[in-house]
Structure 1
């Protein structure tokens, strides 16, 4: 089996209720620029990144795939996934102009597609190829009800619905609004509505300065918060270390880290407690696994950020021993043939061969309309 063609793909899916907001961005659609890798025996593997559906940026990602990486892949054996990752990372001319950002997003989409292709060729779901078990249960926590543009009443209502009607026992709400006191009032209202047994996570999306993070972060323990996610500047190892030494609430981060070496620095410094690697920021499954192994060696839990909005992280969490909990956001659910499914607060283990990233025929019809 040999690679014959790389086909660029850009999908844009609407988000919840026509628009959501965190502390830094407001969006109406989620972007999934990616690639379909074709082989000479008719098999196709799919891989996607995740963006804020900004078409010029999405085109840069797929152009990087087709213009810079395509020549290095045509004629190669797609089973040699790790070797191909090394080749694309070190041998492409793109290495000299960017080893993270757009180039990494492009490499990640290719890597996911290669793993998807390998699984399909072997007739296995990714979790089984990676050594997971059908008996493994990965718990879901829901992020899609905690947005900052929800009123306090809507926030409480959504969180109660997710717990009482959908079976979630953990939810995440956004903080980092214009008023820290209002953040705390919203958090207090959710805690009162959900009671003491439901776990609540918080996420500031890097909005706070270090003094703000220390001041507001010190009050999160009053509401028994599981973690504060991305409390301050994404790349600030020293700041997160100082914060970790100043507050009792654990720190979660990783959504905006692009390299395994960046995770190494945060972990080694004691600046993170919940490690959140994302295959669409890292260069795919191959680098994600390196980060998960690193965290596991430090006895740190891995709780991925799901920028793919698909099912691939579920496969990884099933197979890696550092993972027991995974974020759920359903924006691409209707766009995939085998979307992630949650029942009674736990992910369902799919038996469909692949990595759960194959779009529906209807989704593929939208590509030429963008």
Structure 2
């Protein structure tokens, strides 16, 4: 018998506006338009016993309405269920929408529900999610990305980087992949000079180089002592990434675009990454993310989860090998709470669950909503 049952689910589609249109290499190569908003999917799950959990997923540029629609179709499967049985419920949600596959938009929609169930479980235990899962640390190394996009003028990138380090962020990542390779080198050289040799520095090409260009660019960037070069090639070019990882001194990081444990398993099997960058909302939530971390640990791979620091700081704290977490300030307007950063590290919140509460602005930006009752 179950002592509690899921009685109510609220799903909200939220359009989070960005203050400035954002461009990375995909825009400069003509493959995408500048990003003006992030589409968020929130799931709020309540039980008969009075417990509540909050989860979220997201999409950039396209897919938000699709995630919301899929979640609204499969979420009724949770009503009346025991919220403790998270792994079984994840499988139930996947099978409810199996005709559209077990990766991509379908699992990203499920992620919001799965994360809400884990948040609920940790809150009920009176523990942070990291403590519930079993933490290895109370803080995680962090690096900032949001200040170094390609659309940002170089002087502003330099100021942003210096300000982030002054604020306590541990490393800086800037975007590369400009059609003019000289622009990339100038920007990286300028940031390295401004920060000095002791600040960890990373770059991200957002999949915009072909194999020959990637090898050439990676060699050109070797002198800057980078922590990693991220997504130099198409996300599914495992053979190309493996060749770069075996050839270049600078570690190769990738994985953020993959949307299932199976896809990450292939990446690991191909030895295509020196550093794995999984994204819990993209792979389907906490449940599959934990399976993925087990594969990464077995392969002795460092991890640096992509985006969504509000969730990933909790999950990164559970990984045995010292990880990184990505500091992105984009989602901050959605949540009342703020993450603490000091000495190059992000502190894992000790509030129960994820320790997150939606703001009034998040409610105001809601474009669609459905409430499901038992």
What TM-score does the superposition give when structure 2 sets the normalisation length? 0.91
Q: Secondary structure at the match of 1:226?
A: coil
Q: State the partner residue of 1:194.
A: 195
Q: Secondary structure at the match of 1:355?
A: coil
Q: Is 1:140 the counterpart of 2:157 in the alignment?
A: no
CA distance in structure 2 between the aligned counterparts of 1:2 and 1:300, rounded to whole angstroms:
39
Q: Secondary structure at the match of 1:31?
A: strand
Q: State the partner residue of 1:5.
A: 8
Matches of residues 148-227 of structure 1 in structure 2 within 5 Å? 148-163=150-165, 165-227=166-228
Superposition deviation, residue 322 in structure 1: 2.8
Q: State the partner residue of 2:80.
A: 75
Q: Is 1:61 the counterpart of 2:60 in the alignment?
A: no
Q: State the partner residue of 2:278.
A: 277
Q: Is 1:14 the counterpart of 2:13 in the alignment?
A: no
Q: State the partner residue of 1:23.
A: 25
CA distance in structure 1 between the aligned counterparts of 2:246 and 2:320, rounded to whole angstroms:
27
Q: Secondary structure at the match of 1:119?
A: helix
Q: Is 1:122 the counterpart of 2:128 in the alignment?
A: no
Q: Secondary structure at the match of 1:128?
A: helix
1:312/1:357 contact within 8 Å kept: no
Match of residue 112, structure 2, among 109, 113, 120: 109
Matches of residues 294-333 of structure 1 in structure 2 within 5 Å? 294-306=295-307, 308=308, 310-333=309-332
Aligned length: 360
2:169/2:341 contact within 8 Å kept: no
CA distance in structure 2 between the aligned counterparts of 1:364 and 1:34, rounded to whole angstroms:
10
Calculate the aligned-residue CA RMSD, in Å. 1.8
Q: State the partner residue of 1:33.
A: 41
Match of residue 131, structure 1, among 134, 157, 170: 134
Q: Show CA shifts across 1:194-227 (max 9, x none).
A: 1111111000111111111111111111111111
Q: Is 1:366 the counterpart of 2:365 in the alignment?
A: yes
1:259/1:282 contact within 8 Å kept: yes
Which blocks of at least 5 consecutive residues in structure 1 are unaligned? Answer: none
Q: Is 1:353 the counterpart of 2:358 in the alignment?
A: no
CA distance in structure 1 between the aligned counterparts of 2:367 and 2:139, rounded to whole angstroms:
39
Q: Secondary structure at the match of 1:248?
A: coil
Q: State the partner residue of 1:246.
A: 247
CA distance in structure 1 between the aligned counterparts of 2:25 and 2:351, rounded to whole angstroms:
37
Superposition deviation, residue 245 in structure 1: 2.5
Q: Secondary structure at the match of 1:316?
A: helix
1:101/1:258 contact within 8 Å kept: yes
Q: Secondary structure at the match of 1:206?
A: coil
Farther off after superposition, 359-368 or 251-260: 359-368
Matches of residues 228-243 of structure 1 in structure 2 within 5 Å? 228-243=229-244
Q: State the partner residue of 2:98.
A: 95
1:32/1:53 contact within 8 Å kept: no
Superposition deviation, residue 53 in structure 1: 5.5
CA distance in structure 2 between the aligned counterparts of 1:125 and 1:205, rounded to whole angstroms:
33
Q: State the partner residue of 1:343.
A: 342
CA distance in structure 1 between the aligned counterparts of 2:10 and 2:139, rounded to whole angstroms:
35
Which blocks of at least 5 consecutive residues in structure 2 are unaligned? Answer: 28-33, 370-374
CA distance in structure 2 between the aligned counterparts of 1:241 and 1:349, rounded to whole angstroms:
33
CA distance in structure 2 between the aligned counterparts of 1:35 and 1:283, rounded to whole angstroms:
13
Farther off after superposition, 317-326 or 166-175: 317-326
